[in-house]
Amino acid sequence: MKDKVGILVSEVLYSRIKRKAFTHENIAFYEQAGDQYGVSLCYLRLADLIPGHKFVKALVPTEKDNYIQIKIEKPRVIHNRMLGTTGMDKRKFTLLKKEGVSFFNEITRYSKLDIYNKLISDAKLAKHQPDTMPVTKENLQVMMKKHKQLIIKPDLGTLGSGVSKLTRESERTWTLDDGRSRQAFSIKAVWPKKLEDLCTVGGYIVQEKIPLAAFYGSAFDIRAAVQKDINGEWQVTGLVGKAAGKGKFVTNVARGGRCYSLEMILEDCDLDKEKVKLSLEELALHVAHVLDHHIPSLADIGLDIGLTSEGFPMFIECNGRDQRYSFKEAGLLEVWKMTYFHPIGYARWLLNQSE
Ligand SMILES: Nc1ncnc2c1ncn2[C@@H]1O[C@H](COP(=O)(O)OP(=O)(O)OP(=O)(O)O)[C@@H](O)[C@H]1O
Ligand SMILES: [Mg+2]
């Protein structure tokens, strides 16, 4: 009998798989990867995984292109695709690991400030990160002295929502742009209420704005899928460009961003494409290796990397549950498929290690 690999999904995704409703996750790719690597797939909810129980309720694909919910023996390897976990979930993971279940990507949601602090101690990475601080009134004043443009964003990601931009217009005047409206203010006078609120509410960071290169007038950044594979090694599965929607300064697809292949997005830049690709891959791999020392069972990340007009790559953020569909949006269907194949290859590698 084939070894089983579990994909731990949210309640919502579980129910959509069961009903065969549309999902952004291309579940069929996991199953094709299972055929390639000699494992069978099942989909699990955390609520059904009970420490001490040998069996678990799971969704299993049938030959008739359907899914049945049955009790199966707990898989030994589980790929976590849930976003965020509570303290109780973490305790459950700990108990299940003690029973011999291996999870990978156990933690999928990271504090941006935490990641910044982890990466800044690496000599090579220091110059590839924008200056960053937690938002307080004092820190904003420090950052406004040092930089002409700043980004304020939630420390825990929200698909580009809640991101604001501060721009110095003259020595004393700044504008705050929250993506919906702009407000000018004098640094010495009363600050806009929105900005004052950001200083007191907590959970926000302020960052030097990276002067992002543009694709026909729209700022863009790059999503890099970095994953462990059948050899248990990190590799860059793919790179894809995300250009901001008209008049926007965030590139998130959820905020109107559009995806293009790297070749296409670099079309409007006077840069050596091969050199840029290599430097993006090098940075992405280095970030993955450094984070691997800090985050347990890390094996699948989606990095946002900005590119200056000189082609210098700057790390923006790390996603622990990459939605992967940027590759589909850009028409990079083979890369999109590989973002599902590598985690299953890695699951195979983990199974081989424990045999
Ligand atoms: N320092 C920066 N300089 C320039 N642009 C930035 C900077 N920080 C963020 N942005 C823009 O805003 C977008 C959203 O920011 P970021 O990726 O850090 O958070 P998020 O996407 O909201 O978080 P998550 O992906 O976890 O939901 C980036 O893709 C980029 O286009
Ligand atoms: Mg992002």
Distance 57 CA to ligand 2 centre (A): 34
The model's pLDDT over 281-337, given as tens digits with 9 standing for 90+, comes to: 999 999 999 999 999 999 999 999 999 999 999 999 999 999 999 999 999 999 999
Ligand index nearest the alpha carbon of residue 110: 1
Fold held by 112-128+212-336: D-amino Acid Aminotransferase; Chain A, domain 1 (3.30.470)
- Per the listing, tokens 């999109």 go with 336
Q: Is 132 in the pocket of ligand 1 (CB under 6 A)?
A: no
**Three-state DSSP class for 349?**
helix
Which atom in ligand 1 lies closest to the alpha carbon of residue 212?
4
Q: Is 159 in the pocket of ligand 1 (CB under 6 A)?
A: yes
Q: Give me the pLDDT at residue 225, please.
A: 98
Which atom in ligand 1 lies closest to the alpha carbon of residue 109?
26
Distance 159 CA to ligand 2 centre (A): 6
CATH 3.40.50.20 fits 3-104, yes or no: yes
Task: Decide the pairing of beta strands 164-168 and 149-154.
Answer: antiparallel
**Max alpha carbon distance in the chain (Å)?**
72
- Distance between CA atoms of residues 296 and 278, nearest Å: 27
Write the burial class of residue 162 (CB in 10 Å: 0-12 exposed, 13-18 middle, 19+ buried).
Answer: middle
Of 233, 242, 227, 258, nearest in space to 335 by CA: 227
- Distance between CA atoms of residues 315 and 293, nearest Å: 18
Cα separation values, 206 from 113, 141, 199, 200, 318, Å: 10, 11, 10, 13, 17
Which atom in ligand 1 lies closest to the alpha carbon of residue 162?
22
Q: Is 322 in the pocket of ligand 1 (CB under 6 A)?
A: no
Of 249, 343, 347, nearest in space to 302 by CA: 343
Alpha-carbon torsion angle 37, 25, 244, 112, nearest 10? -80
pLDDT, averaged across the chain: 95
**What length is written for the chain?**
355
Whole-model pTM: value is 0.96
Q: Whose CA is closest to atom 15 on ligand 1?
A: 160
Average pLDDT per block of 10 residues along the chain, 355 residues long? 95 95 93 97 97 97 91 97 87 95 95 97 96 97 97 89 95 94 94 95 97 95 98 98 94 94 93 96 98 97 97 97 96 98 98 90
CB-CB contact of 35 with 41 (8 Å): no
Q: Give me the pLDDT at residue 220, please.
A: 97
The model's pLDDT over 93-105, given as tens digits with 9 standing for 90+, comes to: 999 999 999 999 9
Q: Is 303 in the pocket of ligand 1 (CB under 6 A)?
A: no
Q: Whose CA is closest to atom 29 on ligand 1?
A: 251
Q: Where are the domains positioned within the chain?
A: 3-104, 112-128+212-336, 132-208
Which atom in ligand 1 lies closest to the alpha carbon of residue 158?
27
Which phi and psi angles does 60 have, rounded to 5°?
Answer: -125, 135
Distance 74 CA to ligand 2 centre (A): 34
Q: Is 212 in the pocket of ligand 1 (CB under 6 A)?
A: yes
Q: Give me the pLDDT at residue 1, please.
A: 82
The residue to mutate among 151, 242, 287, 315, having the most atoms of ligand 1 within 8 angstroms of its beta carbon, is 151
